[in-house]
Structure 1
Amino acid sequence: MRTLLALGALAATLAAPGPVPPPAPGPAPLPARMADTGGGTQLITAVAGDTAATTGTLTWWDRRGGRWVRTGSAPARFGAKGLAEGERRRQGTNTTPTGLYDLPYAFGIEPAPAGTAYRYARVTDRSWWCQDNDARAYNRWVEGLPRDCRAAEAEHLVTYETQYAHALVVGFNYDRPVRGRGAGIFLHVNGPGATAGCVSVPKDAMRRILAWADPARRPHIAVGTRGGPTAITRY
């Protein structure tokens, strides 16, 4: 009888499941794999498959408890000619500059979405973005077109009713502008197709981003590809 009981106990022990191993860790979130995130606790990443792509994914992240957490995501559009390394980009090429950039301020034709913390400039019929390489206001918003900024070399912001309903200025070539590198790079609402060099997202996503972004948390935007010389992890 004892032998039968012992055998039964042994069989039960052999049949009982062992401890479940912990799941294998997944890949670290994208910001954790980047060389630099700008030093803040908010980040936007815009990733294309390669430099010829005109579409990709934009994701916004929060740093919480020492780790990066994905907060939202949306399909993104890039320049009609794809992407180009920011430091070597040339103006008028319809390419989106890759790199890591700050976000100086927001603007729009429509009122700021509820909860917007960024300084938000309302577009008027006198609002222009000067892209004239010979102008003192190169790569700057101006109210009223200066004499040295040709209208053919500037964007009359109010005429882009759809795209500039809401936008964030991307700090590409902004602090110390290099003439000929490019001007007027924004994160804005989708137009009818690829952009002239900006990054664009659907309007509802742009509104969510503006309600989320907090300048006190120093958000930046990183633009790049999944791999290669312009891989987003390089920035």
Structure 2
Amino acid sequence: MTVLTSLPGLGPRTSAAIPTSAGQVVLAIGASTTSSDTTVQLFTRVPGGWQPAALAWQGHNAVDGWTAEHYAGDSKSPVGIFGLTDAGGLLPDPGTKLRYTQSSGFTINGTGFRNEPLAGSFDYVIAINYNRTPGTSPMDPTMPMGASRGGGIWLHVDHGGPTHACVSVPRDDMKQLLLTLDPALKPVVVMGDRGSLAR
């Protein structure tokens, strides 16, 4: 079993900001501040450090990269550490321990920034607790910081291109993530561009 003493790519400030209660970390590292390519990997806290999942997944973030201060419509993903408490999707619950809301409201059509079809992107989603109320459906429109700061930011199924602000993960890996995350371990996502997270 591989055990890392620290999470790869994280600097002292970012590492120190991870809650000590967090037993699972989804680490999403973007290639640069302007890149929409992201590597995503799950880590579980074990004695002596962190155990990585077997493989890292290749996904996407917002089309214009990352920002430390996200606003609605800026086409950037927020840099930060956010809880993962609630999930949902168009498809039935695959067996996750997270709260799960199945709804036809997760239906999406049209095409993305690379003219790729978006259908199926919200078959499975995990709400990222940025400007939202934990314990509610991912579709809950409540935004505690106000609508100008954006919201509805999720981990969701990758559609082969950049997002508006979400982080996407390949379909099979998204399902595996849902099956692995455990609210008892208080999972968080640590997300941002490589340079920001290295601080």
Q: Gaps spanning 5+ residues in structure 1: where?
A: 1-25, 128-156
| Counterpart residue number, 1:74 | 57
| Counterpart residue number, 2:125 | 167
| Counterpart residue number, 2:93 | 112
Alpha-carbon shift at residue 28 of structure 1 (Å): 4.0
Larger mean CA deviation between 164-173 and 64-73 belongs to: 64-73
Contact 2:107–2:120 (CA<8 Å) still a contact in 1?
A: no
CA RMSD in angstroms comes to 1.9
CA distance in 1, matches of 2:98, 2:26: 15
Alpha-carbon shift at residue 190 of structure 1 (Å): 0.8
Alpha-carbon shift at residue 226 of structure 1 (Å): 1.6
Query: Equivalent residue of 1:180, what SS?
Result: helix
CA-to-partner distance for each residue in 1:8-41, whole Å, 9 max, x for gaps?
xxxxxxxxxxxxxxxxxx9843268512223311
| Counterpart residue number, 1:93 | 74
CA-to-partner distance for each residue in 1:173-194, whole Å, 9 max, x for gaps?
1142333011110000012411
Query: Equivalent residue of 1:209, what SS?
Result: helix
1:56 to 35, 38, 63: 38
Which runs of at least 4 in structure 1 moved beyond 4 Å after TM superposition? none
For normalisation by structure 2, the TM-score amounts to 0.79
Contact 2:6–2:49 (CA<8 Å) still a contact in 1?
A: no
For normalisation by structure 1, the TM-score amounts to 0.68
CA distance in 1, matches of 2:189, 2:153: 12
CA-to-partner distance for each residue in 1:150-197, whole Å, 9 max, x for gaps?
xxxxxxx32354110101000111142333011110000012411011
CA distance in 2, matches of 1:41, 1:66: 13
Change in 2 beyond 3 A, CA 1:32/1:79: closer
Which is higher, the Rg of structure 1 or of structure 2?
1
Query: Equivalent residue of 1:210, what SS?
Result: helix
| Counterpart residue number, 1:177 | 145
| Counterpart residue number, 1:158 | 107
Change in 2 beyond 3 A, CA 1:69/1:223: same
| Counterpart residue number, 2:187 | 219
| Counterpart residue number, 1:232 | 197
Aligned residues, how many? 172
Alpha-carbon shift at residue 225 of structure 1 (Å): 1.7
Query: Equivalent residue of 2:178, what SS?
Result: helix
Alpha-carbon shift at residue 123 of structure 1 (Å): 1.3
Contact 2:5–2:49 (CA<8 Å) still a contact in 1?
A: no
> Aligned partner of 2:100: which letter?
Y
Change in 2 beyond 3 A, CA 1:27/1:49: farther
Contact 1:29–1:69 (CA<8 Å) still a contact in 2?
A: no
Contact 1:190–1:200 (CA<8 Å) still a contact in 2?
A: yes
Q: Structure 1 vs Structure 2: percent identity of aligned residues?
A: 27
Contact 1:105–1:120 (CA<8 Å) still a contact in 2?
A: yes
